[in-house]
């Protein structure tokens, strides 16, 4: 599950940074002021800042700079900032919280400012925490980590330290604005209420309570190969991660899995993004009983789960042996991160809810690659290189190369993923791409399957396909049995009634979802995008 946390962190970064346009050129404006423009920028209101910034900085200059990481009082780090030329930092562990792993204090000493108006803005990151601060005065400052999230964070900080990034000072305005707009990110915990409130406020989700029991008593005879499972997690870091994913993509679910029956009639669940014993996210085929008992009893993210039975016509079309063949060929392979982000970026500006944009994505990628180099080595670079037709360029080089070709990073991100691209660790399948690829093999997209790129589909794109049962009298009798409101699908777990707007409505068409914008709060979708 660790890697999911990292994705969370990335999104968190994306939200925590600023937004600028990439294609700015150096510019000598009419600024004859007694201080450097870049020093005074943080003091200007943010709305006025944006046009100035995009003309002052060039793309690569805007990216955050990794200055290093600190893990103990013994090895202090020293560096030169943009404003303060003499800085040092060290880490002290403490147990003020009286918790199993204690917490820590990061000390920073900044001095030798080059001008009286300048300041330095920093982000501090572990895979579990992100915070930021800015320094105006020469003195010692501290960043408090009251309590580590658990053994994983404690061990991480002991061995790898807290990563420190120097940000462009112009980002201060956005950081402040974000903190006000998105209370989710100010809460230290990813409590259920912060997730629910965020989704209510920013997506218009309802979260109506349903009558108990909050789980179905299921007869597995009524479940068939190809039936789709939508999961929506609302508590803990998984919940926090999914909340961001939902908000960005407009999906009312954050994870998905698919049912498969074998030739003996035994029911299985195939899932891309299953956490194995070692904490890695893999593709797995699990017996239904094992999967369901985990979701009922052990999953601490309070998963809400809906079963979407295939329409009988599609069930008849579903080639079960081809589906199994596909699932077995990927069993045990790593979850696909390469293309995850590309499934929601289709247009250069229609997929970024403010204040996200391509620049921010680039900043997030840079931060990520420093906090988790083992995982990040090829995370997006490989996918971006494929789009450019290059090999082994790192992110800043990719941006430079893109601009030299007269294009922009935003356009590069918007280029559609090709399902047949093979990455160094195999083909890349996110949870929903895995299921739709299986549908493709099983013949559900025939006769247009060659012009469907499933990596372009989000979870919402999957549940809005008109593939599912549309006659409520054919739903299993245990389906929504205790609920007074009859949903068109079977919600099998969860306190709140699940919503899947536009469920089961869209007939697939060639090049579906390759050019769709997705902007909150309405996520309007042009037909045939
Ligand atoms: C930088 O700061 C350190 C620690 O505060 C100090 O020992 C050192 O002399 C300073 N260096 C300069 C060039 O001012
Ligand atoms: C912190 O204090 C608590 C309670 O005194 C103790 O149980 C825990 O082991 C301590 N943690 C560390 C890391 O020292
Ligand atoms: C189903 O898939 C298998 C394996 O890919 C294939 O051999 C078989 O011909 C397919 N059946 C139909 C009816 O298309
Ligand atoms: C369900 O779908 C089928 C085929 O897609 C269609 O013929 C039928 O009219 C639909 N039924 C309802 C109740 O919408
Ligand atoms: C829905 O299914 C029931 C039971 O199979 C059937 O009697 C009814 O005609 C179907 N309704 C439609 C609109 O297809």
CA-441 nearest atom, ligand 3: 5
Could you please report the per-residue DSSP string of 52-113?
HHHHHS-TGGGS-EEEEEE-SSSS-EEE--SSEEEEEEEEEEE-TT--TT-EEEEEEEEEEE
Mean pLDDT of 145-164: 84
Position 514 in a domain? no
* Residue nearest (by alpha carbon) to ligand 4 atom 9: 470
| Same-domain pairing of 167 and 66 | yes
Closest ligand to C-alpha of residue 157 is: 2
> How many CA atoms, within 13 angstroms, populate the side-chain half-sphere of residue 360?
24
DSSP 194-233: HHHHHHHHHH-----B-PSPSB----GGG--TT-EEEEE-
Cα 396 to Cα 62, 166, 205, 384: the distances in Å are: 11, 16, 38, 11
Q: What pLDDT does 213 receive?
A: 93
- Checking if the pLDDT of 417 tops 60, the result is yes
Q: Are residues 357 and 391 in the same domain?
A: yes
Q: Answer whether 471 contacts ligand 4 (Cβ < 6 A).
A: yes
pLDDT tens for 70-127 read 999 998 999 999 889 999 999 999 999 999 999 999 999 999 998 877 888 888 887 6
Is the model's pLDDT at 214 over the cut of 90? yes
C-alpha 124 – ligand 3 centre gap (Å): 54
Ligand 4 contacts CB of residue 297 (under 6 A): no
- Structural domain count of the chain: 3
Is any ligand 1 atom within 6 A of the Cβ of residue 86?
yes
Evaluate whether residue 480 is within a structural domain: yes
Task: Give the tokens for residue 73.
Answer: 């009082």
Kindly report the protein residue whose alpha carbon is nearest to atom 14 of ligand 4: 470
Secondary-structure breakdown of the chain: helix, strand, coil percentages, each rounded to the nearest 5: 35, 20, 45
pLDDT of residue 339: 59
Domain assignment present for 271: yes
Instruction: Give the mean pLDDT of 184-197.
Output: 61
Confidence at residue 485, expressed as pLDDT on a 0 to 100 scale: 92
CA distance linking residue 209 with residue 214, whole number of Å? 10
Does 59 score more than 70 pLDDT? no
- The Å distance, Cα 488 to ligand 4 centre, comes to 13
Residue 399: per-residue pLDDT: 77
Contact criterion met (CB below 8 Å) for 253 and 230? yes
* Choice among 10-19, 30-39, 93-102 with the minimum mean pLDDT: 30-39
Residue of the CA atom closest to atom 4 of ligand 1? 88
Task: Report pLDDT for 255.
Answer: 93
In short, whether 297's Cβ falls inside 6 Å of ligand 5 is no
- Residues 465, 354 share a domain: no
**Rounded mean pLDDT of 413-427?**
75
Residue 233 lies in domain: 195-333+459-493
Residue 135 pLDDT exceeds 60 = yes
Could you give the CA distance from residue 363 to residue 449 in angstroms, rounded to a whole number? 36
pLDDT recorded at residue 398: 83
Question: What pLDDT, on the 0 to 100 scale, is given for residue 514?
Answer: 83
Residues 208 and 312 in one domain: yes
Which of 84, 86, 89, 112 has the most ligand 1 atoms within 8 A of CB, as the residue to mutate? 86
Q: What is the pTM of this model?
A: 0.68
End position of a domain, from candidates 143, 173, 203: 173
Any ligand 3 atom below 6 A from CB of 325: yes
Same domain, 320 and 352: no
The answer on 467 and 329 residing in a single domain is yes
Find the 322 Cα to ligand 3 centroid distance in Å.
Answer: 6
190 domain residue, yes or no: no
The whole-number pLDDT of residue 128 equals 66
72 and 141 assigned to the same domain: yes
Ligand approaching nearest to the C-alpha of 323: 3
Two tokens, residue 472: 């409520």
What is the average pLDDT value for the chain, to the nearest integer?
A: 79
401 and 324 together in one domain: no
Flag whether pLDDT at 289 surpasses 60. Answer: yes
Whether 303 and 357 map to the same domain: the answer is: no
* pLDDT tier for residue 23 given thresholds of 50, 70 and 90: very low
- Identify the pLDDT of residue 35: 37
Question: Looking at per-residue confidence, does 215 or 156 come out higher?
Answer: 215
Of 504, 453, 529, the closest CA to residue 228 belongs to 504
- 36 CA → ligand 3 middle, Å: 69
Tokens (6 digits) for 510: 């060639």
Give the per-residue pLDDT at 257.
Answer: 97
340 found inside a domain: no
Ligand 4 mean position to 266 CA, how many Å?
29
pLDDT, residue 195, reads 81
| 363: pLDDT strictly greater than 70 | no
**Looking at ligand 2, which atom is closest to the CA of residue 102?**
13
- Whether 263 and 393 share a structural domain: no
Atom of ligand 1 nearest to the CA of 86: 1
The winner for highest mean pLDDT among 10-14, 148-152, 202-206, 395-399 is 202-206
Q: pLDDT tens digits, residue range 256-278? A: 999 999 999 999 999 998 877 76
Q: Is the CB of 446 under 6 A from ligand 3?
A: no
How does pLDDT run across 439-457, given as a tens digit for each residue? 999 999 999 999 998 887 8
Smallest-distance ligand from the CA of 154: 2
313 in ligand 5 pocket by Cβ < 6 Å?
no
Residue whose entry in the numeric block shows the structure tokens 């005074």: 40
Nearest bound ligand to CA 148?
A: 2
At 31 the pLDDT is: 29
Is the model's pLDDT at 474 over the cut of 90?
Answer: yes
How many angstroms does the Cα of residue 319 sit away from the middle of ligand 4? 22
Asked if residue 143 has pLDDT above 70, the reply is yes
Confidence (pLDDT) at 192: 78
Please check whether residues 265 and 322 belong to one and the same domain.
Answer: yes
Whether 397 is covered by a domain: the verdict is yes
Would you say the CB of residue 115 lies under 6 angstroms from ligand 4?
no
Above 80 in pLDDT, residue 325? yes
State residue 145 phi and psi, 5-degree precision: -110, 95
Ligand 4 close to Cβ of residue 470 (< 6 A): yes
Given this model, what pLDDT does residue 521 score? 73
Any domain includes 485: yes
Check residue 353 and give its pLDDT.
56
Q: What's the 347 CA to ligand 3 centre distance in angstroms? A: 37
Considering only residues 298 and 58, tell me which one the structure prediction assigns the higher pLDDT: 298
**Residue 350: pLDDT above 50?**
yes
Same domain, 274 and 357: no
Confirm whether 113 is domain-assigned. yes
């Amino acid at each position: 599950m660790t890697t999911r946390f990292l994705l969370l962190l990335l999104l968190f970064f994306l939200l925590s940074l600023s937004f600028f346009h990439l294609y700015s050129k150096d510019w000598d404006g009419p600024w004859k002021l007694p201080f450097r423009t870049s020093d005074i920028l943080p003091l200007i209101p943010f709305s006025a800042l944006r046009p100035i910034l995009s003309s002052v900085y060039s793309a690569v200059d805007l990216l955050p700079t990794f200055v290093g990481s600190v893990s103990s009082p013994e090895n202090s780090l020293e560096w030169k900032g943009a404003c303060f030329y003499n800085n040092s930092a060290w880490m002290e562990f403490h147990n003020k919280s009286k918790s199993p792993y204690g917490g820590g204090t990061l000390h920073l000493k900044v001095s030798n400012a080059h001008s009286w108006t300048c300041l330095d803005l920093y982000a501090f990151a572990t895979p579990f925490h992100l915070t930021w601060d800015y320094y105006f005065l020469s003195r010692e400052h501290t960043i408090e980590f009251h309590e580590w999230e658990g053994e994983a964070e404690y061990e991480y900080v002991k061995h790898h330290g807290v990563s420190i990034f120097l940000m462009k000072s112009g980002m201060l305005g956005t950081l402040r604005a974000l903190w006000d707009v998105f209370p989710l990110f100010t809460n230290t915990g990813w409590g259920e209420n912060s997730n629910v409130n965020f989704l209510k406020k920013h997506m218009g989700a309802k979260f109506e309570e349903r009558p108990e029991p909050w789980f179905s008593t299921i007869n597995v005879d009524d479940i068939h190969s190809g039936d789709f499972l939508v999961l929506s997690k609302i508590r803990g870091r998984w919940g926090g991660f999914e909340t961001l994913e939902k908000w960005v993509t407009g999906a009312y679910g954050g994870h998905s899995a698919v049912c498969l029956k074998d030739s003996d009639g035994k029911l299985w669940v195939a899932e891309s993004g299953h956490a194995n014993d070692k904490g890695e996210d893999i593709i797995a085929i699990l017996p239904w009983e094992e999967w369901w008992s985990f979701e009922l009893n052990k999953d601490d993210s309070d998963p809400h789960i809906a079963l979407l039975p295939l329409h009988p016509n599609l069930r008849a079309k579903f080639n079960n042996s081809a589906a199994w063949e596909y699932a077995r060929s990927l069993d045990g392979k790593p979850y696909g991160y390469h293309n995850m982000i590309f499934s929601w970026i289709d247009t250069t500006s229609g997929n970024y809810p403010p204040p996200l944009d391509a620049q921010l994505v680039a900043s997030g990628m840079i931060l990520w690659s420093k906090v988790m180099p083992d995982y990040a080595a090829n995370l997006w670079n490989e996918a971006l290189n494929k789009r450019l037709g290059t090999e082994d360029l790192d992110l800043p080089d990719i941006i430079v190369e893109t601009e030299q070709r007269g294009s922009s990073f935003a356009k590069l991100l918007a280029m559609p993923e090709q399902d047949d691209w093979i990455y160094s660790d195999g083909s890349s399948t996110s949870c929903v791409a895995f299921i739709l690829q299986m549908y493709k093999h099983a013949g559900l997209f025939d006769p247009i399957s060659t012009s469907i790129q499933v990596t372009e589909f989000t979870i919402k794109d999957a549940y809005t396909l008109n593939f599912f049962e549309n006659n409520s009298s054919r739903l299993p009798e245990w389906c929504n049995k205790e609920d007074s409101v009859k949903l068109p699908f079977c919600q099998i777990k969860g306190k709140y009634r699940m919503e899947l707007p536009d469920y089961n409505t869209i007939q697939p068409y060639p090049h579906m979802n390759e050019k769709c914008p997705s902007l909150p709060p309405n996520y309007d979708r042009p037909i045939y995008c």
